Amino acid sequence: DRWITVLTDSGSVALRSAAGGGIEIKPSDGTVADNDEAYLHTTAEQFLFADNKPLIVEADIQFSEANTDDANVMFGVMDGIAANALQDNGAGPKASYSGAVFFKEDGETVWSVENSDGGTQKTTQLTADNSIDGDAHTAGSSDFQRLRIEVNPVDSTNLDISFFIDGVLVAKHKDQDYANATELAVVIGAKNGDTNLETINVRRLFCFQ
């Protein structure tokens, strides 16, 4: 009971029958429709942005675009996981939440990162111009990618959030306000961007605070 799913459109989360094991997240079963979605998240919201309590969340994930750039994918920590945690039609994570996530949206090919305090977000799309290491970070391939978020409180009102891909620091959001922070669940999910099934494979997933 540590994990639960949100399957709003007959999707599935199941054990992965492949070397290395893990789980497979499918937004649709049977008929595949645009904006079908599926999420896996911790049953309880066990984490919280708080002073003197650093947080690390990390996962190894893999997906290949079923159609060019249509997949919507998200991983990180967020409160209130429900339908449309990823908004329809490539609009990214929901408009108001507590948390920090990697995400990839319909129509794009690179990762973006975001942290949110209620309706206030800071977002960085990991293009070559925006990434700390100067590289564009493509989301999805035949290989697994290790995504890591480190949250380090500076004081009782501000924190720094660092985002890593395969051990490389790709973005850092400094001095972010968390005055409205609420409890968080670990979440990973996918939403179809068209009538193609966008499947995520997850081999490793953890959070520590």
DSSP 3-state of 89: helix
Whole-angstrom CA distances from 50 to 8, 20, 94, 99, 202 are: 32, 35, 22, 12, 28
Write down the residue that tokens 């998240």 correspond to.
41
56, 47 Cβ separation under 8 angstroms: no
Query: Residue 135's pLDDT is what?
Result: 98
Query: Residue 62's pLDDT is what?
Result: 97
Distance separating alpha carbons of residues 79 and 42, to the nearest angstrom: 11
Q: Which two tokens stand for residue 177?
A: 């306000």
Per-residue pLDDT of the chain (209 residues; tens, 9 = 90+): 799 999 988 899 999 888 888 999 999 988 999 999 999 999 999 999 999 999 999 999 999 999 999 999 999 999 999 999 999 999 999 999 999 999 999 999 999 999 999 999 999 999 999 999 999 999 999 999 999 999 999 999 999 999 999 999 999 999 999 999 999 999 999 999 999 999 999 999 999 99
**Mean pLDDT of the chain, nearest integer:** 96
SS3 content of the chain, % helix, strand, coil (to 5): 0, 50, 50
Query: Residue 14's pLDDT is what?
Result: 93
77, 57 Cβ separation under 8 angstroms: yes
Contacts of 85 (CB under 8 A, 6+ apart): 6, 37, 39, 74, 78, 93, 94, 187, 189
pLDDT tens-digit profile of 153-175?
A: 999 999 999 999 999 999 999 99
Q: Which two tokens stand for residue 92?
A: 């990214």
pLDDT tens-digit profile of 112-138?
A: 999 999 999 999 999 999 999 999 999
What DSSP designation does 87 have? P
